[in-house]
Chains A and B, each alone.
Chain A
Amino acid sequence: DTEVTQTPKHLVMGMTNKKSLKCEQHLGHNAMYWYKQKAKKPPELMFVYSYEKLSINESVPSRFSPECPNSSLLNLHLHALQPEDSALYLCASSQAWRSVQPQHFGDGTRLSIL
């Protein structure tokens, strides 16, 4: 069983739609991450939350809006996306942001922008 759960698994949306990606971790971790992964490329960091506070924003466009309602949940709100935003969006968690403990990933949401 995956201990980091992402929903939905697949999402198709138009450029004018608003949607949200959800992530839940059951590991008791205090840091959560959003990554974007294009085909045949490595994951690229987007955001880091540490103890429910945004710690890193890797210059991500404002059409991506993260939210961390509590230490177990992480959302990514999407609005007015572009076709180039089509990718696999991965959520990860780790014991703490500045810890050397590994990050554990969910299976991602495959996002397609029409």
Chain B
Amino acid sequence: EDQVTQSPEALRLQEGESSSLNCSYTVSGLRGLFWYRQDPGKGPEFLFTLYSAGEEKEKERLKATLTKKESFLHITAPKPEDSATYLCAVRVTQGGSEKLVFGKGTKLTVNP
């Protein structure tokens, strides 16, 4: 069964305190891993797509990396506005159809 596990469930950081979020996956037929940010009451906002092990993507204070079994979202010197839930999703092929399988997310709180 395809599974996506995110850790930690929640993370509190002080402004400027760098850290990483983890997304581990057990899937067959991986066709891309996606990171989204979701603010309360809003839809997920697309951040990054990673396709193959060793790939890295950066955007402002965020950097996403991918290995064969997991992805990390590194947050460098976070600010309070980075507070959100970060969702990891993998695109899988199941029985001839394709879908996104989401992790449960990591809720990040950055205190000033």
Within 8 A of A (CB), among B3-55: 31-32, 34, 36, 41-46, 49, 51
Within 8 A of A (CB), among B48-90: 49, 51, 87, 89
Which 3 residue pairs across A and B have the least CB separation, nearest first? A42-B102, A105-B43, A100-B32
Within 8 A of B (CB), among A74-107: 88, 90, 92, 97-98, 100-107
Asked whether any CB of chain B lies closer than 8 Å to the CB of A45, the reply is: yes
Q: Is the CB of A43 within 8 A of B44?
A: yes
Chain B residue at minimal CB-CB distance from A105: B43
Q: Is the CB of B34 within 8 A of A102?
A: yes
Asked whether any CB of chain B lies closer than 8 Å to the CB of A110, the reply is: yes
Partner of B99, one of A2, A56, A102: A56
Partner of B87, one of A42, A102, A107: A42
Question: Apart from A100-B32, A101-B49, A104-B46, what are 8 other A-B pairs with CB-CB below 8 Å?
Answer: A90-B43, A98-B98, A100-B49, A103-B34, A103-B46, A103-B100, A105-B44, A108-B41
